[in-house]
Amino acid sequence: DAGVIQSPRHEVTEMGQEVTLRCKPISGHNSLFWYRQTMMRGLELLIYFNNNVPIDDSGMPEDRFSAKMPNASFSTLKIQPSEPRDSAVYFCASSPFGVSYNEQFFGPGTRLTVL
Amino acid sequence: AQTVTQSQPEMSVQEAETVTLSCTYDTSESDYYLFWYKQPPSRQMILVIRQEAYKQQNATENRFSVNFQKAAKSFSLKISDSQLGDAAMYFCASHTGNQFYFGTGTSLTVIP
């Protein structure tokens, strides 16, 4: 298996622009997680899905952030409009067997820079 | 709310020696799981070891083992015979119900 795939790996954009991050979970995994990592705040869970349904989005910082999972093999995290403080590494992770106590498999991350 | 605390921002160890990374957590739940993840410079997060709270026996994976003290809510990671490839950020994490928490990480340096 190719593992969790994220694209793009790097994104540089200007303040006010829309940014879309993409994630393909491992086939057969039915839980998907979006995290944000910064030096100041560490690793934060933004939202997670179980069977394509958002379970907890309390970590989403504000209305500028939205996430979708239209099917079991694809999810997006959108920031509109983007701001410099959104600069971070965004990780997607997937896990098998629903919201259980299995490990999470992380993608390589997307490094977002908002100028 | 559940929190995970790693009180050591940085640690260093001589190659082939043993090092212990600390982690404490706070939860009111009786059923939960604990994890240690490794994040090397490549940024790829990799699971190192996991511990089920209901198990009294400490988990072990080759050179990696944990000291799980449930009453003290402590979950430390011991790395034996440290290797240069062990240099990375290490994150302690907990999972209970629908809640997932990560610590702030410990940066481990391995000295040749």
Mapping DSSP onto H, E and C, the string for B96-108 reads ECCEEEECCCEEE
Distance of CA B65 to the CA centre of its chain: 9
Cross-strand pairs, B61: B64
Q: Which residues of B lie inside 8 Å of A (Cβ-Cβ)?
A: 32-33, 35, 37, 42-47, 50, 52, 91, 95, 97-98, 100-105
B52 contacts in A (CB within 8 Å)?
101
DSSP 3-state of B84: helix
Residue A112: the pLDDT is 97
Helices of type H across A1-115: none
Banded model confidence at residue A81, pLDDT cuts 50, 70, 90: very high
Contact B24, B73 (CB under 8 A): yes
Q: How far is CA A43 from CA A2, A25, A51, B13, B100, in A?
A: 24, 19, 23, 25, 11
DSSP 3-state of A2: coil
Cα–Cα distance, B96 to B112 (Å, whole number) = 39
Contact A55, B98 (CB under 8 A): yes
∠ CA(A4), CA(A6), CA(A7), 5° rounding?
Answer: 160
Torsion of CA B105, A63, A71, B34, to 10 degrees: 20
Sign of CA dihedral B76, B42, A58, B32: negative
Average pLDDT over residues A26-39: 91
Q: Choose from B47, B100, B102, B106 for mutation: most chain A CBs within 10 A.
A: B100
Q: Which of A45, A56, A106 sits opposite B45 (nearest CB)?
A: A106
A35 contacts in B (CB within 8 Å)?
102
Average pLDDT over residues A23-40: 92
Q: Distance from first CA to last CA of chain A, Å, rounded?
A: 36
Contact A93, A5 (CB under 8 A): no
What pLDDT tens digit does each residue of chain B (112 aa) get?
Answer: 568 999 999 999 999 999 999 999 998 888 889 999 999 988 888 999 999 888 889 999 999 999 999 999 999 999 999 999 999 999 999 987 767 889 999 999 999 9
Question: What part of A 71-100 touches B (C-beta under 8 Å)?
Answer: 89, 91, 93, 99
A43 contacts in B (CB within 8 Å)?
91, 102, 105
Alpha-carbon distance A108 to nearest alpha carbon in chain B (angstroms)? 5
Average pLDDT over residues A51-59: 89
